[in-house]
Structure 1
Amino acid sequence: MFNEERRNQIVALLEKEGRVEVKRLAALFGVTEDSIRKDLRALESRGLLQKAHGGAVPVTRVSGFVPYQERGEPERKRPIARAAVALIQPGDTVFIESSSYTHLMFYELGNMPDVTVVTNSIYGLPELVRRVNLIQLGGTVHKQDEACYGPFTLYMLSQINFDKCFLKPAGITEDGKLTTGLQESLAVKQTALKQSERTIVLVDEQDWGRRDVYNVCAIDAIHTIVTNGLPEALAKKWEKKGIAMVKA
């Protein structure tokens, strides 16, 4: 396959899924990760995508967000978001970190005027503010993630006590480590863990066994896993550690 043909297919895949990853593309096309990175740089220089950590996302502007309905595989992600929202109780103060899965939680929340939601997301806030008490953490905006990170974000986060926090790791390794690919997200996750009575993680079935760059915590530091699929042996293993499993 010629380079240009492969690049055209990358753009088509990005339009379909809302995000592409270097490792997956390298396996899909049978080329090295360096070749894929060159493809992404070339496509970015032509304005066809934006490079993000570990892959690429569509070209967007902060003032013109892609509607959540058009993001990659919303029908796959929505049941996980819906099952997570069901764990929120009246009177809760919760932290919901920014991710394409947790963004969908904003649209699954009913009117909960006695629930306080704290988030580092800048996506979907007009929708969220109509439904709950909203605290948006300040900080430096990371355009690709549509989220705030940095020392101001962490300071605000460290001043709030949460009943629950909802986190989306990049993966959970076979030996039970939650991992993430973005350094800024690592700090947010670890601070939220310290501030929360209960930690709930959203895990896609494709995330099991996946190891990314940074270790967030060991699996026994969390309380509940919401997932759309988990091998039975793993489910029994984690349940023995006292972790509740919620099937989406």
Structure 2
Amino acid sequence: MFLEERQEAILNLLARDGKVRVKDLSEMFKVTEDCIRKDLGALEKQGKLKRTYGGAVVRRENLHMLEVSKHRNTDVEAKRRIAQAAVRLIHEKDMVFLDISTSNLAIAELLVKTDREMTVVTNMIDILVVLARNPKIRLVLKLKPDIAFVGAVGVDVKENSVSTYDIEDGINKAAIVRVAKRAYVVAEARKLSNDGNYNYTSLDTLSGLITDSKPADDICEAAEDYGVEIVLP
């Protein structure tokens, strides 16, 4: 087998199983473990996998959505479904926190039509602009909310981590998660295979994860182990 064929076969195994071991690959392809390590090193440099001790795992996609409001037209239906599920959790006269997130902007667009009285705390200008049209909603900046919805660039259920793209944004999200009585992360299902640059909290600090479609069984089981409720539309 040529080097390129072997490396392609390694990537196929990785796509199927999620991880590979140097020892197993060495036996499978009848080459030395050092040869396999070189293969994995070359593939890592190409951005096709991430090396680990004794093997390699799938390289998780890293997203850099630096200007959140520009992405309000991305995954519109998924965000709408997430927003509907989130709004059902809000009680009359609740204090609600909505941080910088296009999913939270979708929540605001539903809340502006509500007849319920509530206080909304936010640090996103777009949300302030939307909710200012409803006189029953009191808008303030950062107190201690009854329920908080925080956005994410990536959610790794198995690693118990929630990430964003920016450290300052992550610090703000983490602070709100700490003080809120209930905190939910709002994220499209595709973000369960994405990573951000900064892990701002662990899943087990949250009340739940609100997403647009049911995740795979292993992800649901991992969430359950952390006591995290998965909330669906």
The answer, yes or no, to whether TM exceeds 0.5 is yes
After superposition, the C-alpha distances for 1:144-176 in whole angstroms (9 at most, x for unaligned) are: xxxxxxxxxxxxx3xx11111100111112311
Secondary structure of the structure 2 residue equivalent to 1:208: helix
Secondary structure of the structure 2 residue equivalent to 1:123: helix
CA distance in 1, matches of 2:66, 2:182: 33
After superposition, the C-alpha distances for 1:30-61 in whole angstroms (9 at most, x for unaligned) are: xx89xxxxxxxxxxxxxxxxxxx826769xxx
Secondary structure of the structure 1 residue equivalent to 2:152: coil
Matches within 5 A, 1:25-44: none
- Could you say which residue in structure 2 is the equivalent of 1:114? 117
Seen in structure 2, the aligned counterparts of structure 1 residues 115 and 72 have a Cα distance that, compared at 3 Å, is same
Does the Cα contact within 8 Å between 2:66 and 2:165 map onto a contact in 1?
no
CA distance in 2, matches of 1:113, 1:129: 14
CA distance in 1, matches of 2:116, 2:132: 10
- Could you say which residue in structure 1 is the equivalent of 2:64? 54
Higher RCO (C-alpha under 8 Å, 6+ residues apart) = 2
Seen in structure 2, the aligned counterparts of structure 1 residues 93 and 123 have a Cα distance that, compared at 3 Å, is same
- Could you say which residue in structure 1 is the equivalent of 2:224? 239
Secondary structure of the structure 2 residue equivalent to 1:201: strand
* Aligned partner of 1:93 among 85, 95, 102: 95
Q: Is 2:175 aligned against 1:191?
A: yes
Does the Cα contact within 8 Å between 1:120 and 1:136 map onto a contact in 2?
no
Q: Which amino acid aligns with 2:137?
A: N
Secondary structure of the structure 2 residue equivalent to 1:118: strand
RMSD: 2.5
Matches within 5 A, 1:133-172: 133-137=137-141, 157=142, 160-172=143-155
Does the Cα contact within 8 Å between 2:147 and 2:182 map onto a contact in 1?
yes
- Could you say which residue in structure 2 is the equivalent of 1:223? 207
CA distance in 1, matches of 2:83, 2:65: 23
* Aligned partner of 1:130 among 126, 129, 133: 133
Which segment is superposed worse, 73-82 or 217-226?
Answer: 73-82
Q: Which amino acid aligns with 1:238?
A: A
CA distance in 1, matches of 2:206, 2:130: 29
Q: Which amino acid aligns with 1:99?
A: S
Displacement, 1:129?
Answer: 2.3
Displacement, 1:97?
Answer: 0.6
After superposition, the C-alpha distances for 1:63-108 in whole angstroms (9 at most, x for unaligned) are: xx8795xx22322321111111111111210110121111011111
Matches within 5 A, 1:4-15: none
Q: Which amino acid aligns with 1:78?
A: R
* Aligned partner of 1:178 among 162, 178, 186: 162
Q: Which amino acid aligns with 1:172?
A: V
- Could you say which residue in structure 2 is the equivalent of 1:104? 106
Seen in structure 2, the aligned counterparts of structure 1 residues 121 and 234 have a Cα distance that, compared at 3 Å, is same
**Percent identical residues:** 24
After superposition, the C-alpha distances for 1:104-136 in whole angstroms (9 at most, x for unaligned) are: 111112324521101111114343123343324
**Larger-Rg structure:** 2
CA distance in 2, matches of 1:224, 1:55: 23
| Runs of at least 5 residues in structure 2 that lack an aligned partner in the other structure | 1-45, 48-62
Does the Cα contact within 8 Å between 2:103 and 2:187 map onto a contact in 1?
no
Q: Is 2:184 aligned against 1:208?
A: no
Does the Cα contact within 8 Å between 1:200 and 1:225 map onto a contact in 2?
yes
CA distance in 1, matches of 2:206, 2:71: 31
CA distance in 2, matches of 1:57, 1:101: 14
